[in-house]
Structure 1
Amino acid sequence: MNYPVAKACDVPYRPAHKQNNPVVKGLPLYYGAKILASCGPLQDLLWSNAGFASLRGLPELDNVDPRYEPTVIKTPSISESPKRADGRAESDPSLLLEEDWTRRRPQLKETGSPYLSSLDYHEAYKSGKLTPTTVLENLLPLVSREVSLKNGDQQTSSSHHATAFLQTREDLARQAAAASTSRYAAGKPLSPLDGVPIAVKDEEDVRGYKKYLGSKIDFTSREDATSYCVRRWLEDGGAVMVGKTNMHELGMDTTNNNQTYGTPLNPHNDRYYTGGSSGGSAYAVSAGLVPLAIGNDGGGSIRIPSAYCGVYGLKPSSGRVSIRPTANLAKSTAVAGPVAANMVDLEIGYRLMAQPDPLDGDSKHFPPPRSQTVVEPETRRKRKFLGVYDEWIASADGPVREACQAAIHYLTTELGYTLVPITLPHVHSGQLAHAMTIMSEALSGLKPTQISHLSPANQVLLSVGSRTPATDFMQAQKLRNVLMQHLSHLFTQHPGLIILTPTTPNAGWSFHPSELTHGSTDANMQIRNMEYVWLANFTGCPAISVPVGYVAPKEGKGRVPVGMMAMGEWCTEDELIGLGYECERFLGERYEGGRARPGNFYREEFFSSS
């Protein structure tokens, strides 16, 4: 359904114009935002300076229809019908209990993985060595901003991990853990996630929790409902939610700098941002607090923090994962997806949350996710292609390119992938088109009075974004169509093609401590940070970020992770997950030193002693 016409758009690569947007931090940003909010001519000047008007002069957009919706759906075949001989639906989470997950774990150089997986929890619960309640009680003092004392009073938490969380409902978490403990005692767990601690980004609705989108504004649903994808983990899978995670306000930047609730610092190096906007979720996973968390991705907001924090993150195809009844502030670009400590956690989390929602207009048409036990044999029988756009990747920093190239060399020389040179049209103009689109969508969901309550950086960003003329917005949607048609051409020419880039051209984003008080607006770095990730959002394709190495830091102590991104054809999440497992083995078995353990790391000591 909605598959784009295969049509190549071959234009020469044009290096990006040097960005010359003003970089403002601290108090100047605070006062400058107030001036900018009421000065239309200054907003127009900054809009033009950002290069948004450049789409007007692209001849390739002449006589092209705009495309507003990037959702492309592979309709289920008869063999993928959700009917089973035993009467269970394919969406039944208990089916995950019957798979042999252990063989998918990487054989790491060190003794055991630095990260616990959901399988470690599940096995400890089944054996009776641990209970979900025991695990939760150890975590609550670490993730709660206020800790309950024995006398009933509340005390502000001294845990540095708590900054990654905005809310924790200890009562709801204890109820869920107790119910899970009872199920294990009866030998009836719901899924491999039953009793496993997880976290949820403050962009989703969860019954009993407030929703602020990382801001001061209350966006809580009047229905007090739970987003479908969250419900799949909590109610159907039995996971225990330890809290809602911090995020970049409204998801409108990629640092996770949050002056309202505090900024979580990268577990690998505390002079670097976690990345955003799902930075709290990535922190919680990277620091070892939970093996799995939910994030949202409208412009790399799952993949960038996953890359910065050295974990795994999947941005699914547009429309595939239902968040009903939650309103999507950027429906044509944003999706929900998993952030995971290990690939086995990512697969389990994705297969639960991506089950078709019969009440969602898009999700209900997608086929259910498939097990890697089915996908792997199919993949082995096919020729496997990796697409690389050399001129585009050349703009990445040298150490980032080297780390990604080592992983690509492993895939091609040891696993039989064929490297295919490709081109993509107007990648820099496309990034501007994506930025115009997501800002316009976000603005449509905000009241003018709400913008004044946002951070200074977001007041600047949205004030500038509000100056986008309808004609330029239309040009952006025409370019979306051109890009999707070109991708259709590539996927038709090379069936099964997976396009590889670094997740970000830079290894992490360091900061000055003064930025944590009043924030920072650095559109130049923001644009560079998103140089590769935007394409999957704008065209609706699925993409995964996997850690492939570490580089020396420019600031602070602790090596900085490097992520590689793989983008596939619409509805090929299963194939991307297969590649993710292969890259996980590369990091664990081939990379010198194996997978690194962050300096700021929590691992339940009772696992080693139990």
Structure 2
Amino acid sequence: MGNFMREKGGGMVYKSLQEIDFGPHSQYLYVHSDVKAPRMTGLLVKVFAWGLEAPIFGGILSFFLKKNNLVHKLVSFASLQESPHFTPSHPYQESRSEDTKYLDADMSPPEKVQQAVDCLSPPIPRNPNFRRWTIMDYARAYTSGETTPTMVARRFIAFLQESSSKDLQMSFFINSDAEDILKQAAESTARYKRGEPISVLDGVPVAVKDEIDCLPYPTTGGTKWMHRVRKCTNDASCVSRLRSCGAMIVGKTNMHELGGGISGINPHYGAARNPYNRRKITGGSSSGSAAVVAAGLCPVALGVDGGGSVRLPAALCGVVGMKPTFACVPHDGVLPLNYTIGMVGILAATVEDALIAYAAIGGDASSRPFDNPVPKIGLPELKSANYSSLNIKMARYEKWFDDCSDNIRTCCSDAVANLCETYGWKTVDVTILDIESMRLAHYVTLATECSNAISGYLDKFDKSEMGWDIRVGLAMYATFDTNEYLNAQKIRNRQLEIHRKIFSMADVIVTPSTGVTAYTIEDDAVATGELDYINGAGLVRYMIAGNFLGLPAITVPVGYDSSGLPIGVQFIGKPWSESLLMYIASAMQTLCLSEQKKPEVFYDMLADD
């Protein structure tokens, strides 16, 4: 593993960061995720779950699973000089940039949305091949009288029924109430008729992941039992802020059960299917939210990102996915499945749509540390954007960047090269240490926090109500002890310092969004769920820093693989650098938008009647 750490007593002794060179010629070995776990579905996953749940045999089995997958070596028995760092919160600082507009914290959500609109460049020309409708397209269509929110609502309800038909079975939603949608639409239509829309979001269809409280719907978390033991009594703050802007909430989207997987295959509500190929996964756990945006039903949807759960499905479905800085968006009203790594995020048709939604929901999160200044929302001035005027430096760790499929490597490398050539930006070759240790430490943290969150409910439902893949997950989660959790937080502290050093050399880190594109939904996985940790490691390879370290990150579509499946590039930023990330993502989008392809399943919500 290179000379930056050595093995002792079954664990690793990590070398002091002060002694390490982070430059491009460092000789430290990149550790590939060598996952040792076969794909399991059907009877096999049931037997595996029973084995892990068995009192004695389960402990023996979990010990060898952790040992064989390097959890013991890199986390459990590791020796680190750092103290544990439990919450990835960052003191608020404004990024010094003439291209950023900062909004006052006391602005209302509609006022913030208007400020976002004032930042936008002129309307994007229609791609003769394909372009999704945006928030601004809806607002212009409503204002001009070409259509109304009521007409759009009726079209949405019809399209949703079509998508749920036996022929398609897209499984976009867990709950959607036609009567409630039509009521919201009628109120919005009346406002437009009076010439008094609340904001450009008025009457725009927005979907919400079923991990976020949103009346009149129960919050299931993708389970069959959560809504019985935890009642939804109010909208989450993020939903309330969207409603205050007039957004038309159209239902609760499908998700991987308890957010405990990355495929989006839910044995209770169906496997959410990728609009680019119905036989492929959407990715998870915000599976339905990514799919409805990709299929054109909504220009924006909310998700929750605990391990790439917004960015991963966004990349696989060919849309924009944004995860803000930890504690940037209020987390009240969101299932507390992960206390220190989960974050409300945005899935959107374009960067501009993500910008508007971010302005609506961001700022003054109740979970922020009390001694931090109230964070302001920073928005990029895209209207006057001269991308060549900023000397952007993007950190690229070549061994990590290239640890993906050939299609992704070529597509993302070409996209980054095009970005640099067009705007005069630069990539900076760096070494990012201990990436595999960070992935495993994140897993230990996620597992421990989820196990703690669910433990209070264990006596209130029957295990038979759960998917078998989640039963395996929860059984494994329960095996981590205090020492392992504390070591994971020491690794978090170490990684925070590693990334500070990287960000002292560059403005952002650039990576592919995923290591593989969407894989096939096998028939044997639909009923029981599946365990596919090898594909899982490939999908989350570039996602972990955003969650474990509380960093903002955004993925933007840049092309397709040889099978026509979407590929995304990800930019990871310094804390509170959302404005710069959206600026860079907008520059990339400008280069790639004309190449976007229409999905196999797509609904034209603003088509002429």
> TM over 0.5, yes or no?
yes
1:70 alignment counterpart: 88
Distance in 2, matches of 1:33 and 1:370, equals 46
Q: 1:133 aligned to 2:145? A: no
Is the Cα–Cα contact under 8 Å of residues 304 and 342 in structure 2 kept in the other structure?
yes
Distance in 2, matches of 1:76 and 1:350, equals 16
Distance in 1, matches of 2:315 and 2:289, equals 12
2:561 alignment counterpart: 551
Distance in 2, matches of 1:135 and 1:101, equals 27
Q: Are residues 362 and 552 of structure 1, via their aligned partners in 2, closer, same or farther at CA, if it must alter by over 3 Å?
A: farther
Distance in 2, matches of 1:362 and 1:257, equals 39
Matches within 5 A, 1:12-91: 12-16=28-32, 18-38=34-54, 39-56=58-75, 61-75=79-93, 89-91=106-108
Query: By how many angstroms is 1:64 displaced?
Result: 1.1
Q: 1:512 aligned to 2:522? A: yes
2:12 alignment counterpart: none
Instruction: Specify the SS of the correspondent of 2:364.
Output: coil
Deviations 1:312-349 (A, max 9, x none): 00011111111224342212111001100112111111
1:441 alignment counterpart: 449
Which range moves more in the overlay, 515-524 or 572-581? Answer: 515-524
Q: 1:481 aligned to 2:493? A: yes
1:312 alignment counterpart: 320
The letter of the residue matching 1:25 is T
Query: By how many angstroms is 1:517 displaced?
Result: 2.0
Distance in 2, matches of 1:138 and 1:268, equals 21
The letter of the residue matching 2:474 is L
Is the Cα–Cα contact under 8 Å of residues 119 and 383 in structure 2 kept in the other structure?
no
Query: By how many angstroms is 1:410 displaced?
Result: 1.5
Is the Cα–Cα contact under 8 Å of residues 506 and 529 in structure 1 kept in the other structure?
yes
Q: Are residues 302 and 57 of structure 1, via their aligned partners in 2, closer, same or farther at CA, if it must alter by over 3 Å?
A: closer
The letter of the residue matching 2:238 is C
Is the Cα–Cα contact under 8 Å of residues 183 and 189 in structure 1 kept in the other structure?
yes
2:176 to 164, 168, 192: 168
The letter of the residue matching 1:28 is L
2:239 to 221, 227, 230: 230
1:560 alignment counterpart: 565
1:338 to 338, 342, 346: 346
Distance in 1, matches of 2:128 and 2:135, equals 19
Query: By how many angstroms is 1:269 displaced?
Result: 1.0
Distance in 2, matches of 1:135 and 1:216, equals 31
Q: 1:262 aligned to 2:270? A: yes
The letter of the residue matching 1:492 is S
Q: Are residues 213 and 337 of structure 1, via their aligned partners in 2, closer, same or farther at CA, if it must alter by over 3 Å?
A: same
Is the Cα–Cα contact under 8 Å of residues 396 and 511 in structure 2 kept in the other structure?
yes
Distance in 2, matches of 1:213 and 1:363, equals 32
The letter of the residue matching 1:142 is F
Which range moves more in the overlay, 503-512 or 224-233? Answer: 503-512
1:602 alignment counterpart: 603
Deviations 1:239-271 (A, max 9, x none): 111110000001111100111110121110122
Q: 1:586 aligned to 2:591? A: yes
1:491 to 476, 479, 503: 503
Deviations 1:63-116 (A, max 9, x none): 2111111111324699988559xxxx43341453463566354446526x5211
Distance in 1, matches of 2:126 and 2:417, equals 19
Gaps of 5+ in 2: 1-15
Aligned residues with identical type, % of pairs:
28
Distance in 2, matches of 1:68 and 1:192, equals 39
Is the Cα–Cα contact under 8 Å of residues 70 and 540 in structure 1 kept in the other structure?
yes
1:103 alignment counterpart: 121
Is the Cα–Cα contact under 8 Å of residues 356 and 365 in structure 1 kept in the other structure?
no
Is the Cα–Cα contact under 8 Å of residues 356 and 363 in structure 1 kept in the other structure?
no
Distance in 2, matches of 1:375 and 1:334, equals 32
2:547 alignment counterpart: 537
Is the Cα–Cα contact under 8 Å of residues 70 and 538 in structure 1 kept in the other structure?
yes
Q: Are residues 284 and 256 of structure 1, via their aligned partners in 2, closer, same or farther at CA, if it must alter by over 3 Å?
A: same
Deviations 1:535-579 (A, max 9, x none): 2111111110111100122xxxxx100011110001101111111
Deviations 1:191-222 (A, max 9, x none): 11110011000000012210110011224754
Is the Cα–Cα contact under 8 Å of residues 75 and 441 in structure 2 kept in the other structure?
no
Q: TM-score, normalised by structure 2?
A: 0.88
Q: 1:502 aligned to 2:501? A: no
1:429 alignment counterpart: 437
Is the Cα–Cα contact under 8 Å of residues 133 and 181 in structure 1 kept in the other structure?
yes
Deviations 1:558-608 (A, max 9, x none): x1000111100011011111111111111124xxxx11110111113xx34
Query: By how many angstroms is 1:434 displaced?
Result: 0.5
Q: 1:289 aligned to 2:297? A: yes
Q: Are residues 278 and 363 of structure 1, via their aligned partners in 2, closer, same or farther at CA, if it must alter by over 3 Å?
A: farther
Distance in 2, matches of 1:49 and 1:340, equals 39
| Superposition RMSD in Å | 2.8
1:153 alignment counterpart: none
The letter of the residue matching 1:577 is M
Matches within 5 A, 1:448-459: 448-449=458-459, 450=461, 452=463, 453-459=465-471
Q: 1:247 aligned to 2:255? A: yes
Which range moves more in the overlay, 133-142 or 236-245? Answer: 133-142
Gaps of 5+ in 1: 147-155, 554-558
Instruction: Specify the SS of the correspondent of 2:29.
Output: coil
In the alignment of these two chains, the number of paired residues is 577
The letter of the residue matching 2:608 is S
Is the Cα–Cα contact under 8 Å of residues 213 and 247 in structure 1 kept in the other structure?
yes
Distance in 1, matches of 2:65 and 2:135, equals 47
Query: By how many angstroms is 1:371 displaced?
Result: 3.1
Distance in 1, matches of 2:122 and 2:77, equals 47
Deviations 1:370-423 (A, max 9, x none): 332289669765421011000112211111011111111111111121110111
Distance in 2, matches of 1:161 and 1:534, equals 31
Query: By how many angstroms is 1:282 displaced?
Result: 0.5
Distance in 2, matches of 1:546 and 1:481, equals 29
Distance in 1, matches of 2:305 and 2:80, equals 31
Query: By how many angstroms is 1:507 displaced?
Result: 1.9
